[in-house]
Amino acid sequence: MSNTRIERDSMGELHVPEQALYGAQTQRAVDNFPISHQRMPAQFIRALILAKAAAAKANIELKQLSESQGKAIVDAAQGLLEGDYMQHFPVDIFQTGSGTSSNMNANEVIATLASRVLGEPINPNDHVNCGQSSNDIIPTAIHVSAALGLHEQLLPALVHLVQVIERKAVEVHPFIKTGRTHLMDAMPVRMSQVLEGWAQQLKANIGHLQDLLPSLQSLAQGGTAVGTGINAHPQFAAGFSRQLSNLTQVQFTPGKNLFALIGSQDTAVAVSGQLKAIAVTLMKIANDLRWMNSGPLAGLGEIELEGLQPGSSIMPGKVNPVIPEATAMVAAQVIGNDTTITVAGQSGNFELNVMLPIIAQNLLSSIELLANSSRLLADKAIASFKVNEPKLKEALSRNPILVTALNPIIGCQKAAEIAKTAYKQGRLVIDVALEHTDLSRSQLEILLDPEKLTAGGV
How far apart are the C-alpha atoms of 413 and 278, rounded to whole Å? 41
pLDDT > 70: percent of the chain: 99
> Where, residue-wise, is CATH 1.10.275.10 in the chain?
4-130
Does the pLDDT of residue 231 top 80, yes or no? Answer: yes
> Which whole number is the average pLDDT over 234-259?
98
- Is 281 within any annotated ligand binding site? no
- Is 222 within any annotated ligand binding site? no
How far apart are the C-alpha atoms of 15 and 426, rounded to whole Å? 82
- Is 354 within any annotated ligand binding site? no
**What's the topology of domain 400-454?**
Ribonucleotide Reductase Protein R1; domain 1 (1.10.40)
pLDDT, tens digit, 9 for 90 and up, residues 122-171: 999 999 999 999 999 999 999 999 999 999 999 999 999 999 999 999 99
- Is 134 within any annotated ligand binding site? yes
pLDDT, tens digit, 9 for 90 and up, residues 31-79: 999 999 999 999 999 999 999 999 999 999 999 999 999 999 999 999 9
Q: Does domain 4-130 have CATH number 1.10.275.10?
A: yes
- Is 3 within any annotated ligand binding site? no
> Where, residue-wise, is CATH 1.20.200.10 in the chain?
136-388
- Is 313 within any annotated ligand binding site? yes
pLDDT, tens digit, 9 for 90 and up, residues 157-207: 999 999 999 999 999 999 999 999 999 999 999 999 999 999 999 999 999
> Where, residue-wise, is CATH 1.10.40.30 in the chain?
400-454
How far apart are the C-alpha atoms of 293 and 304, rounded to whole Å? 5
- Residue 199 vs residues 74, 149, 158, 167, 179: alpha-carbon distances, Å: 43, 22, 10, 10, 18
Question: Confidence class of residue 455 from pLDDT cuts 50, 70 and 90?
Answer: confident
3-class DSSP state for residue 457?
A: coil
- pLDDT of amino acid 446: 94
Does the pLDDT of residue 1 top 60, yes or no? Answer: no
Q: Give the mean pLDDT of the chain.
A: 97
Q: Which CATH superfamily is domain 136-388 in?
A: Fumarase/aspartase (Central domain) (1.20.200.10)
How far apart are the C-alpha atoms of 110 and 88, rounded to whole Å? 10
How far apart are the C-alpha atoms of 276 and 213, rounded to whole Å? 16
- Is 365 within any annotated ligand binding site? no
> Which whole number is the average pLDDT over 239-264?
98
- Is 266 within any annotated ligand binding site? no
| Among candidate residues 214, 148, 53, 202, the one with its CA nearest the CA of residue 364 | 148
Residue partners of 348: CB distance under 8 A and separation at least 6: 263, 264, 265
Taking 3-state DSSP, the helix, strand and coil percentages for the chain, each rounded to the nearest 5, stand at 65, 10, 30
pLDDT, tens digit, 9 for 90 and up, residues 264-322: 999 999 999 999 999 999 999 999 999 999 999 999 999 999 999 999 999 999 999 99
- Is 140 within any annotated ligand binding site? no
Output phi, psi for 297, to 5 deg. Answer: -100, -40
Catalytic site residue 182?
A: yes
- pLDDT of amino acid 397: 87
- pLDDT of amino acid 458: 36
Residue in 36, 66, 312, 440 annotated catalytic: 312
- pLDDT of amino acid 456: 45
- Is 121 within any annotated ligand binding site? no
Residue in 2, 10, 182, 442 annotated catalytic: 182
- Is 284 within any annotated ligand binding site? no
What is the identity of the amino acid at 323?
A: I
| Among candidate residues 359, 432, 355, the one with its CA nearest the CA of residue 401 | 432
Q: Which element (helix H / strand E) includes 177? A: strand 176-181
Characterize the bridge pairing of strands 176-181 and 184-190: antiparallel
Q: What is the model's pTM?
A: 0.96
- Is 102 within any annotated ligand binding site? no
pLDDT, tens digit, 9 for 90 and up, residues 401-444: 999 999 999 999 999 999 999 999 999 999 999 999 999 999 99
